[in-house]
Amino acid sequence: MNNTRCLSGSPLRRAPLFALVILALPTLSACGGGGQDNKAAPPQASQQAQPAPAATPATAAPAMQPGTGQAVLAGVSYAPPAAWQDLGPSNMRVAQYRLPPVEGDSAPAEVNVFYFGPASGGGVDANLQRWIGQMVLPSGGDPASAAQRSTFAADGMPGHIVTLDGTYKSGGGPMMGGETKMLEGYRLVGVVLEGPEGSLFFKLTGPVATAKAMEAQLVPMMQGAKKAG
C-alpha cells in the first residue's frame, strides 16, 4: 500500500533528484484525477486502405499493325481507309471513324464499331432489326419492309448488310441518359461480320450523300477483312 503523499506537500521534495524521479512514478497515480488508470491505450492497428478491386477492362480497341494500315479486332484484320478520321474508342464503341461531309451536306458520316465478346451482342438479326428500328420513313411506313439486306463472305466469315434511308433517331434516348434527335435525310448502313471471336458490328450513319461516300469504302473494307494470324 502506497502511503506516500503528493509531491506538493511531501518532505521528499528535499531528497536528491534521482530519488524524486524514482518515487514520483508510483505517486502520480495517487495524485491524479480520482485514482483512475491513466495508462495509455495500446495503439490500434492502422486501418490501411485496401485497394479497390480492379475494374473489368473495356473491350480493347483495334490494334494497328505498324506499317500495314491494318487494324486487328477480335481475331479480324481490316484496313480503315486513309480518308477516315480515327476518333478512337468511346463508351460502348470500341472504335469510331468519321468522314467529312461531301459537297452539299452539312454534317459528317460516322462508322461506330461494337464488339460484345464471343457470346454477347444479342445475335445478328436482333441487332439488324434494332438498327432498322432507329429509322423513320417519311411516308410513315414500316422501316423493316423498306430496308435492303444482302450477305457476303470474307475469308470464310459470314457477313450481313442492311441499308435504309429516312429520318435517323440519333442519341441514347432516356434509357441511355441522352436526348433523342430526329435527323432527316439520313442513311443507315449496318454491317455485321461473324468473326472467329464473336460478331463485329459496324454501324454507319450520316446525311445520305456523305453516308453513301463512306459506304463505298466501308463495304469493300469489310469484304476484304481477314482472319488475323
Q: Which of 104, 123, 98, 116 is nearest to 218 (CA)?
A: 98
| Cα 216 from chain centre | 30
Task: Give the pLDDT confidence score for residue 91 in this predicted structure.
Answer: 86
In 44-108, where do the E strands start and end?
63-65, 70-73, 76-78, 85-86, 95-99
Q: Is 176 among the domain residues? A: yes
Does residue 229 have a pLDDT over 90? Answer: no
Q: Is 123 among the domain residues? A: yes
Residue 76 and residue 20 share a domain? no
Residue 25 and residue 83 share a domain? no
Count of the separate structural domains present in the chain: 2
Task: Give the pLDDT confidence score for residue 15 in this predicted structure.
Answer: 42
Q: Which residue has the higher pLDDT, 52 or 2?
A: 2
CB 167 within 8 A of CB 133: no
Q: Please report, rounded to a whole number, the percentage of residues in the chain having pLDDT higher than 70.
A: 69
Q: Is 46 among the domain residues? A: no
Note the helical H segments in the chain: 17-30, 124-132, 143-146, 208-223
Q: Is 223 among the domain residues? A: yes
List, for residues 132-161, the tens digit of each pLDDT value.
999 999 989 999 999 999 999 999 999 999
Per-residue confidence band for 183, with pLDDT thresholds at 50, 70 and 90: very high
d(CA 150, CA 76) in angstroms, rounded, equals 21
Q: Is 217 among the domain residues? A: yes
Q: Which of 192, 113, 193, 123 is nearest to 157 (CA)?
A: 193
Q: Domain residues for 19?
A: 1-35
Task: Give the pLDDT confidence score for residue 217 in this predicted structure.
Answer: 98
Q: What is the mean pLDDT of residues 53-82?
A: 75
Q: Is 90 among the domain residues? A: yes
Q: Which residue has the higher pLDDT, 221 or 66?
A: 221
Q: What is the pTM of this model?
A: 0.71
Residues in the chain: 229
Q: What is the mean pLDDT of residues 166-179?
A: 72
Report the CATH number at residue 161.
Answer: 3.40.1000.10
**Which amino acid is residue 168, in one-letter code?**
Y
Residue 144 and residue 83 share a domain? yes
Residue 8 and residue 110 share a domain? no
Q: Which residue has the higher pLDDT, 22 or 121?
A: 121
Other CB atoms within a 10 A radius of the CB of residue 192 amount to: 25
Does residue 197 have a pLDDT over 90? Answer: yes
Q: What is the mean pLDDT of residues 81-91?
A: 93
Residue 80 and residue 21 share a domain? no
Task: Give the pLDDT confidence score for residue 68 in this predicted structure.
Answer: 74
CB 168 within 8 A of CB 146: no
d(CA 148, CA 201) in angstroms, rounded, equals 17
Q: Is 50 among the domain residues? A: no
Q: What's the distance, Cα to Cα, between the start and end of the chain in Å?
A: 89
Task: Give the pLDDT confidence score for residue 38 in this predicted structure.
Answer: 45
Task: Give the pLDDT confidence score for residue 171 in this predicted structure.
Answer: 78
